[in-house]
């Protein structure tokens, strides 16, 4: 259904994604020579990407709510458990932003160095090598008009 409504599966609860990943991992370990094994591995890669993206969306939510410690925990989850995904660059940026918000400049600089080393052309660093703060909405609540019109008007 999400395919037809153009919904991002990473915006949903990740428990089912993790369960599907576990089932596919079990299948590939039990039947490594199966003709379905390559497809199962491709689906596992996709599921890892979705779970990592879900963690980042939750981290963004926490940043909007001015909860940098919670956002940091979510970004560290991606860095530690999903290092081979495409979400790692954004996870590093969220961790830098969170450390800056927590006044932990040494840790922010350490993560900035990792970001520069691994992603030299990142959009999170300006020409002088300084971190560009994440652009977040000033208010997490979209407002009265949004809720009254069921999200049709963002006012």
Of 12-21, 48-57, 80-89, the poorest mean pLDDT is in 12-21
150: burial class by Cβ within 10 Å (0-12, 13-18, 19+)? exposed
Which domains are present in the chain? 9-148 (1.25.40.10)
Residue 32, CA atoms < 13 Å, CB-side half-sphere: 1
3-state secondary structure of 90: helix
Q: Give the span between the Cα atoms of 67 and 71, in whole angstroms.
A: 6
Query: Each residue of 14-43: pLDDT tens digit?
Result: 788 889 989 999 999 999 999 999 999 999
CA distances 66 to 26, 72, 75, 102, 113, Å, are 39, 11, 15, 10, 25
Query: Each residue of 94-146: pLDDT tens digit?
Result: 999 999 999 999 999 999 999 999 999 999 999 998 999 988 765 456 666 66
125 has which bridge partners? 131
Contact criterion met (CB below 8 Å) for 79 and 94: no
């Amino acid at each position: 259904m999400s395919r037809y409504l153009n919904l991002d599966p990473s915006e949903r609860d990740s428990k089912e994604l993790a369960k599907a990943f576990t089932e596919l991992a079990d299948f590939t370990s039990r039947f490594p020579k199966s003709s379905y094994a390559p497809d199962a591995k491709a689906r596992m890669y996709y599921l890892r990407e979705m779970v990592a993206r879900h963690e980042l969306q939750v981290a963004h939510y926490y940043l909007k709510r001015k909860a940098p410690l919670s956002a940091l925990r979510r970004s560290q989850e991606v860095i530690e458990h999903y290092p081979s995904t495409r979400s790692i660059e954004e996870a590093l940026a969220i961790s830098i932003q969170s450390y800056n918000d927590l006044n932990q400049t040494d840790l922010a600089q350490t993560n900035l160095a990792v970001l520069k080393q691994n992603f030299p052309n990142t959009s999170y660093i300006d020409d002088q090598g300084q971190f560009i703060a994440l652009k977040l909405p000033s208010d997490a609540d979209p407002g009265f008009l949004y809720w009254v019109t069921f999200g049709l008007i963002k006012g």
